[in-house]
Structure 1
Amino acid sequence: MTSVLFPLDPGRFARQEPDGLPLVAVPHAGGTAHAYRGWTEPARARGLRVFGVRTAMPTDPDSPERTVRARARRLAESLAELGEPCVLVGHSLGGLIAAEAVLHLERHLADAVPALLVVCATNPPHLPRPVPVAGGTEEEAVDFLRTVGGTPPQVLADPGMRELAVAMLRNDLASLRDYAWDGRRLTTPTAVYAGRTDPVAPPDSLAEWTGAAEQVTTRVFDSGHFFPHDSTAHLLDAIRLDLAGSRAAPAPGRPRPAHRP
C-alpha cells in the first residue's frame, strides 16, 4: 500500500534530516493537508514535525473508497508504516477518521498505536448527528462554508473554485450518511478540544466523549470551528502538555478538564 502520509516541512529545511516527534494531521471535511502548512514552524519549535494526509479529489477517477472506515484503515496502515510513535490530530470529520484509525490499530496493529489522539471540533462519534448540507443545494453548501469559516472568501467568490470546494465538502460529508460507531471505547489517551463558539461541535458535547474513549482530557479554546488554525500555537502547547500528562490517566468514564486556552 502507498502511504497516505507525507511531511509538511518548510522548504528551507528540505536538505536537513527531519527530527522531532511526528504529528500527523487529518483535515476537516472539504479540506486538504494544505490547511496545516502554517503549523510546521511552530510545531518544529516545540519538538514536533508535521505530516499531512493525502486527500483524493472528487474528480479523480481513481479515487479510493471514501467511507470513514476505509479512509481510517488506510490511515492506520500508513501510521504502522511510519514505524515510530506519533501524535495523531484530526479536525472535525478528520477527528472521526483519526478515532476510527486508532480503533483499527488497537485491534490489529497495537505496536503502531499513537502516543496521543487529539480530536478537534469533533462531535462524540456514538451520538447521532444530522449530516450538514445533506442533499442540499449549492447555495446551502456555500452558506454552510461561510457559517463555519475556514474557506477564503476569494474561493467562494470564484465560480470554478467554489464548485470544487462544494464538491469536496459534499464528497467528504457523504461518507457520514451510513456511518455508525461500533460501540467499542478507545483505550489510547485521548485529548478532546472544542471551540467556545463552534456551531457544529459545541463544547457542551465534550463530556460525552467518555462514551467513546476511556482516557479523556478536554480543553476549550476561545474561537469557533476553525480554532486549530486560529490558535495554532496555543493548541500545540496544549498537545505538548497533554502528551506529557497522558500517562497520568483519569479514572475511566470521567473526563479530565484541563485549563482553557
Structure 2
Amino acid sequence: MTWFRCTEPRPFAAVRLFCLPHAGGSAVAFRSWPKEISPAVEVHAVQYPGRADRLRDPLVPDAGRLARLVAGAMAPLLDRPAALFGHSMGALVAFEVARLLQERGTPVAHLFVSGTRPPHDRDDESISGLDDDGLITAMTRLGGTDAEILRDPEMRELVLPYVRNDFRLVEEYRYAPEPALTAPVTAIIGDADHRVDERSAARWGELTPAPFALRVLPGDHFYLVPQQSAVLAEIHRGLHIDP
C-alpha cells in the first residue's frame, strides 16, 4: 500500500507538498486542499498505517521509524522541490523527515509546522495511558473528533487503537539536537489552542539558521479547518508561489 494520497496529480507542478496529519488523523484531512492551493503545487497527503484504507497495516509506535518510512517513500518523488506541512503530531514527524532528507542530500524547500510546540519544548501531558472514556474526552477537548461517532462500540474498536498509538508516539518522542535543520520554517498556530502558545511556537525559530516566520490565526487546535484559505496563503508565501 502506498504512503501518499494525491487526488489531483499535476505533472508540471513546480513543488510537491507532503502533508502529515495529526494524531488519530488520516490523509482525508487534506482532501480539500488541492481545490484551493496554487496549480503550481501538487499535494501528497501521508496515509499513516493502521487506519482508513491502511487499517490492516501494522501501527508504527516510534516517531523516528515513522519518519524514516515516510522519507524513504518520498525518494521516488523528489525529482522536483519538495516541502513538508505537518499538523500537531505530523509537525514533529515532518521535522524528522526534513532532517533525514537533508542528510540524504535532498533538503526540503520549506518546513511548515502547525499546532504544536517545537521538539525541544515539549509538555508533559499524558493522554495515551487514559482509559477509553478519558481518551475520547481528551480528543473531544482538542476539537477535531466527532464524539458521537466514538459512542458506537464498533467505531471505538477500530479507531481507539491507532489514536492511542499516535498519542504514545508523541509522548515518547525525544529530541536530539543533531543534525541541525537548515530549511526555512513557518510555524502556524491557533490563538485559542490550549496546547501551544505564541511564546512556545516562536521557539521553532531556534531550530534553523534559515528564515523563520510565525503566524497566529483565529481558532483552536484545529484552526486550520475554518482557516484553510489563510493557511494556504502562508504556504504560498513561504514557497514564493502565486496563488
Identity of aligned residues (%): 28
Classify 1:153/1:18 alpha carbon distance in 2 versus 1 (closer, same or farther; 3 Å).
farther
Correspondence for 1:26: 20
Q: Contact 1:76/1:101 (CA < 8 Å) preserved in 2?
A: yes
Q: Secondary structure at the match of 1:25?
A: strand
Using the TM superposition, name which of 26-35 and 126-135 deviates more: 126-135
- Is structure 2 residue 215 aligned with structure 1 residue 222? no
- Partner residue, 2:203: 208
Runs of 5+ unmatched residues, structure 1: 10-15, 246-261
How far off is 1:118 after superposition? 0.3
| Structure 1 CA distance for aligned equivalents of residues 147 and 169 of structure 2 | 26
Distance 2:232 2:57 in 1: 35
Aligned partner letter, 1:147: R
Query: Partners of 1:153 and 1:134 in 2: how far apart?
Result: 17
Residues 222 and 236 (structure 1), Cα distance of their counterparts in 2 relative to 1, 3 Å cut: same
State the match for 2:50 in structure 1.
57
Question: How many angstroms apart in 1 are the aligned matches of 2:96 and 2:124?
Answer: 19
Q: Render the CA deviation track for 1:5-52: whole Å, top value 9, x for unaligned.
A: 23132xxxxxx7544222111010000001111212012x45322111
Residue pair 1:69, 1:97 contacting (<8 A) in 2 also: yes
Q: Partners in 1 of 2:240 and 2:3 — Cα distance? A: 27
Alignment match of 1:173 (pick from 161, 167, 177): 167
TM-score between both structures, scaled by the size of structure 1: 0.82
Aligned to 2:83: 87
Q: Is the 8 A contact 1:131 1:173 kept in 2?
A: no
Give the secondary-structure state (helix, strand or coil) at the position aligned to 1:228. Answer: coil
Question: What are the equivalent positions in structure 2 for 1:219-258 lying under 5 Å apart?
Answer: 219-244=215-240
Q: Matched residues in 2 for 1:138 and 1:17: separation?
A: 42
Moved more, 231-240 or 52-61: 52-61
Show the counterpart of 1:195.
Answer: 190
Provide TM-score, normalisation by structure 2.
Answer: 0.88
1:140/1:49 CA distance change after superposition, 3 Å: same
Number of residue-to-residue matches in the alignment? 235
Match of 2:71 in 1: 76
Moved more, 16-25 or 197-206: 16-25
d(CA) in 2 for partners of 1:91, 1:136: 23
Query: Which one of 74, 96, 104 corresponds to residue 92 of structure 2?
Result: 96
User: 1:105 aligns to what?
Assistant: 101
Task: Tell me, yes or no, if the aligned pair for 2:115 and 2:190 is still in contact at 8 Å.
Answer: yes
Give the Cα separation in 2 of the matches to 1:225 and 1:27: 13
Asked if the contact 2:185/2:204 (under 8 Å) is kept, the reply is no
Cα pair distance change 1:163/1:65, threshold 3 Å: closer
The reply to whether residue 123 of structure 1 matches residue 117 of structure 2 is yes
State the match for 2:138 in structure 1: 144
Let me know the Cα RMSD of the aligned residues.
2.2
Does the Cα contact within 8 Å between 2:187 and 2:202 map onto a contact in 1?
A: no
Letter matched to residue 50 of structure 1: V
Aligned 8 A contact 2:115 2:188 in 1: yes
Rounded to whole Å, the distance in 2 between the matches of 1:219 and 1:60 is 35
